Amino acid sequence: MSDERLFTFRNRWFTVSVVGTIALAVVSILIGFVWLPSVQRDAQFTGIWNAICSAAGVPRSWYADDQVIMAPKVKLTSVEVTPQLLVDVNANSIGRGATLALRCTMCHGERGMSEANSPNLAGQYASVIYKQLIDFQKGARSNAVMSPMAMNLSDQDMRDLAAYYASLPRPPAQRKVSDSLAPPIVAHGAPMRNIAPCAACHGGIDNKAGSPWLDGLPASYTKAQLVAFANGTRTNDINEVMRNVARNMTSEEIDAAAMYYARELNAGK
């Protein structure tokens, strides 16, 4: 049996292992805590100390300047959507909204049903219409027609418009949403790609506050919005929910979802 000690610097293999491990650790620390953070342009990485704190995940109060406020790169929605938003409306509000809606008929139809590939608004949730109008006005969502239209609306105007369109009856669907008729992306989503079923938020399974009902929307409109969410040109979704979904959808799934919801009201035409 050998009397040679393994864990001693006289053993050259032990020495090489220790030196190699230390060198690897130093290189990893320099890359992970210094170089990689330093090439980032975000404010929290400014300076070596901030870069180290950010990489280590320490509290922001440890940063060299904890007063730095990170401004978003895009304009985001400022509307707080709750299930209670605009649930209590009165006839006066609906009446004022009907008058205001006269300027909207060219795109959205006389009774909220569009013939111009614009979204149908009849029976749409009031909170959805109100949120979108504010987003158009504040710049969180941009459109050559809607942005100027919303610019001069007061908050009460937007509430009245939302109340009016929500009061209109939804046209009856020609067929019901069902797993047998819906594309897989609508009925089941794609769990491996972190895509929930469309019906989980937009009706059929459940409806989440702030999510519009989609039945009967023109296919070209729905497709355009999904593409805009996917490429980041539309950013007014709350917590990036739709952006995260759309960017993981295939073009075939986008087409299938858009056509499916468009046929909801047009199947008999």
User: SS in 3 state form for the chain?
Assistant: CCCCCCCCCCCHHHHHHHHHHHHHHHHHHHHHHHHHHHCCCCHHHCCHHHHHHHHHCCCHHHCCCCCCCCCCCCCCCCCCCCCCCCCCCCHHHHHHHHHHHHHHHHHHCCCCCCCCCCCCCCCCCHHHHHHHHHHHHHCCCCCCCHHHHHHCCCHHHHHHHHHHHHHCCCCCCCCCCCCCCCCHHHHCCEHHHCECCCHHHHCCCCECCCCCCCCCCCHHHHHHHHHHHHHCCCCCCHHHHHHHHHCCCCHHHHHHHHHHHHHHHHCCC
pLDDT band of residue 268 (cuts 50, 70, 90) is very low
Tens of pLDDT, residues 86-140: 888 899 999 999 999 999 999 999 999 988 889 999 999 999 999 999 999 999 9
The first and second tokens of residue 141, run together, are 């969502």
Cα separation, 66 vs 43, in Å, equals: 11
Tens of pLDDT, residues 213-260: 898 899 999 999 999 999 999 999 988 999 999 999 999 999 999 999
Q: What is the mean pLDDT of residues 184-190?
A: 92
pLDDT at 269: 44
Domains and CATH numbers, the chain: 12-62 (no CATH), 91-167 (1.10.760.10), 184-266 (1.10.760.10)
Is pLDDT of 264 > 80?
no
Is pLDDT of 55 > 80?
no
Q: What is the mean pLDDT of residues 182-203?
A: 90
Tens of pLDDT, residues 27-51: 887 887 677 666 665 555 566 666 6
**pTM to 2 decimals?**
0.71
Say how many C-beta atoms besides its own lie within 10 A of residue 86's C-beta: 20
